[in-house]
Each structure stands twice: as C-alpha cells, then as structure tokens.
Amino acid sequence: MADTVFIISKNRSDSLNFHDLLVEKGFEVLIIDNSIEAIELIRSTNPDMIIIDAESPETNAFDLCRDIKADYGTSYIPIIILTSSKDMSYDLEGFDGADEYFVKGMIDYNEIIPKMKTILRRVRANIDANPLTGLPGNAPIKQKIIKSVRGNESFSVAYCDIDNFKPFNDLYGFSKGDQVILMVARVLKKCVRRYGSTGDFLGHLGGDDFVMVGNPFTMRDVAGEAVKIVSRNSKRFYDEKHKKVGGITGIDRNGIRRFFPLFGLTVAIVDIEPQSVTATPDQISFIASKIKGKLKRYGGNIFGGYEVLLAET
C-alpha cells in the first residue's frame, strides 16, 4: 500500500512541484488549501505524512501544527515544514513538533524522497500503535494511566468492549469484524472530542477492547453517547435475515449453541482519586473487569462504574 502524504498550502506552484515528484515516486498525494478542511481530513484519514507551507496565506500553519501534535490520534504523524527563510530560528518559532524543515529555493529534490522515507521508518520504529486503528497501543495506555496516578487530579479509566463480537466475527469473517472495530474506533474518537475534555486519551488494547483515560466529570457523557451511537450503527453490519430477528445464532465460550443479540458496546468506568488511593494499571484493570462482568450480566450495551458493584444482584 502506498504511503499517503497531505500537502497543506495555498501556493499552487510549490504544491504541484511536490505533488508531481511524490506521485512519480509512488506516494498518494492530496493537496489541501484550507486549514479547517485539513484538520478534519487528517483526523478522519490519518495520512502517513503531512507537509505544511509555513508561509501560505490562510493556512494558520502554526496552529495547525500544534493541533496535530496535541491530538493523541494524530500526534505520531510526521510533519515537514516548508519555509522560504534561511533564518529558521526566527521564522519557525512554535514549530517544535515538526520532524523536518525544507527551505524553498534551497531544496535538493534528489534528497527529498530519501529524507521522507527515513522519517517514516524512524516514526514507525518508535510508535506503539494498533495497526488497524492507528490508536495508541498497550504501552502508551499503561504510561498514560501511570502518569495519571502520579498526578494530583482525579481521573477515570473506561474500558470499552464490543458485546457479542466473537460470534459476529466467527459468522461474518475477519474482514467484516475489522469494519466493526474501525467503526467503534471512529465513534469513540468522535465522542471523546465532542463530549470529553482537553487532554482525554483513547487507546486500543487490541481486538475489540479500547481504553479511555480522562476527566471523571465528562467520562460518563462520553461513554453514554458512544453506547448509543454504536447501538444505532450495529444493524447495518448484519444481513437482512439477522436484522429481522435481532441477532445471530452461534457458539458461546462454553461450547453451547445459542442466540446472540446484535452487537453493542459496554463501558466499565473506574474513577480514581490519586490523593486518596494509589492504584496500579493492573489493579484498575481488575476492578474494571468486575464492573464489566456485572454490566454484561445486565445484557451489555450499557455503561457504568462503582455503583454497579454496589447494586443488589
């Protein structure tokens, strides 16, 4: 699969020079001349690399670079800055997140492709991300939880699990299963951005398991909306005959053949107050598994926290 490069610039001449060179070398290239459109496309498609023209009018290059690097879902994407100034210490102040700088008029086009490929190899060697969704994987999730525990602010960890996913995957196949996982990832991203708080984190443990870490005062809003949206979207992944009966027949974990309702999303939320308690990621995961087990017994397609454990069985 070809690497995808976004070029964000109003300068058509410079953009086309890069476009033609990169296409010739096997890259897929998209030229975008609007910052708002650019950030939306970057978040929805996750290109392999971004080239930003620092002096292109109306692109808000400084803000764009900052927003890309501040978002957990796009922070790993390498950025190359184009400038016409040799004095980069002055003109490029604020572009700390950029991976490379090219000065217009001094570009050696024979060196561009090797440099870009080196940057891509370095980024891919350092990143720990899920290969399907591009979300941070196990190590970044653990690091985020440890960092939150060591802080002084209350936070919540929400473990998200797709209900009835295994029988769906067994019946419809891995390709259809991957489509479901990608849909859930998109829904969670959208809900974190729309209903969560600045600094909230979303990671993908693997398979159908996701983790959110963030503000305890908004986490239930995020979880509630995600559960509702996934439930609304689930039907479109099933054949008509399964939609009509509201599920499929499959084999459960005990080898028993039974009926499984349409898949949904269950979110187990663990609230942590570092001032009052010290918890490890494994301890938090253990508590979440208890909450999730109780929620699953309620039928899934639901979210909840400690209150679930305190409720009467």
List, for residues 35-88, the tens digit of each pLDDT value: 888 988 998 788 989 999 887 666 667 788 888 887 767 878 899 988 876 544
Q: Is 93 a residue whose pLDDT tops 50?
A: no
User: d(Cα 58, Cα 38) in Å, to the nearest integer?
Assistant: 12
User: d(Cα 138, Cα 147) in Å, to the nearest integer?
Assistant: 14
For residue 87, the model assigns a pLDDT of: 45
Q: Is 157 a residue whose pLDDT tops 60?
A: yes
Query: Measured between alpha carbons, how far is residue 200 from residues 56, 59, 142, 218 in Å?
Result: 31, 26, 14, 10
Average pLDDT, whole number, for the chain? 87
- 100-103 sheet: strands from edge to edge: 28-32, 4-8, 49-53, 79-83, 100-103
For residue 43, the model assigns a pLDDT of: 83
Q: Is 132 a residue whose pLDDT tops 70?
A: yes
Among 68-82, 199-213, 275-289, top mean pLDDT goes to 199-213
User: d(Cα 165, Cα 80) in Å, to the nearest integer?
Assistant: 40
| Domains annotated on the chain, with CATH | 4-126 (3.40.50.2300), 138-310 (3.30.70.270)
Report the amino acid identity of residue 218: T
Is 8 in a helix, a strand, or coil?
A: strand
For residue 97, the model assigns a pLDDT of: 64
Q: What phi and psi, each to the nearest 5 degrees, are found at residue 164?
A: 60, 30
For residue 89, the model assigns a pLDDT of: 46
For residue 91, the model assigns a pLDDT of: 46
Higher pLDDT residue, 92 or 58?
Answer: 58
For residue 251, the model assigns a pLDDT of: 85
pTM value > 0.75: no
* Residue 49 DSSP code: E
User: d(Cα 69, Cα 46) in Å, to the nearest integer?
Assistant: 13
For residue 90, the model assigns a pLDDT of: 38
Strands 155-162 and 265-272: antiparallel
For residue 161, the model assigns a pLDDT of: 95
For residue 92, the model assigns a pLDDT of: 46
Q: What is the pLDDT of residues 244-258, one digit of tens each?
A: 999 999 988 777 899
Residue 102 CB-half CA count within 13 A = 21
